Amino acid sequence: MRVVEIFKGNKREEMYLFVDQKEGLKSVPENLIATFGIPESVMIFPLTHSEKLARVNASEVLESIERQGYFLQMPPAPEGLAETQISAMVKAEEELTNAQHEQPDH
């Protein structure tokens, strides 16, 4: 288990840096920070290998932090983003349909 802090930058949407909270950004190379933009802390939480994260594998994040001091999560590819949005829309439609069928008739 490691307490991880996640930062977002101001230069690219959906790009995040994961670092050990105690170490902060000191292991992140200057050229990466220049590309990343002004870091803004968005979340601090304990991360374990079994944790479920939205787009990355927790073990991969922890191993990268251990090895190089940070993990960089890149934005999804445009086609991956479209697939994610379509999947979310289909799921929402299914949930709406199910909720409508569960309502008693008046």
CATH code (residue 48): 3.10.510.20
Pair 21, 36 in one domain: yes
Pair 32, 71 in one domain: yes
Pair 24, 37 in one domain: yes
Pair 51, 90 in one domain: no
Pair 33, 65 in one domain: yes
Pair 44, 28 in one domain: yes
Instruction: With beta carbons less than 8 A apart as the criterion, state whether 35 and 43 touch.
Output: no
Pair 67, 98 in one domain: no
Domain limits for position 88: 77-106
Q: What pLDDT is recorded for position 2?
A: 96
Cα end-to-end distance, the chain, whole Å = 53
Q: What pLDDT is recorded for position 88?
A: 78
Pair 11, 28 in one domain: yes
Beta bridge partners of 41: 7
Q: Tell whether pTM > 0.75.
A: no
The domain total for the chain is 2
Pair 68, 83 in one domain: no
Pair 59, 104 in one domain: no
Pair 84, 70 in one domain: no
Average pLDDT per run of 10 along the chain, which is 106 residues long? 96 93 95 94 96 91 97 80 72 82 66
- Closest by Cα among 84, 95, 97, 2 to 51: 2
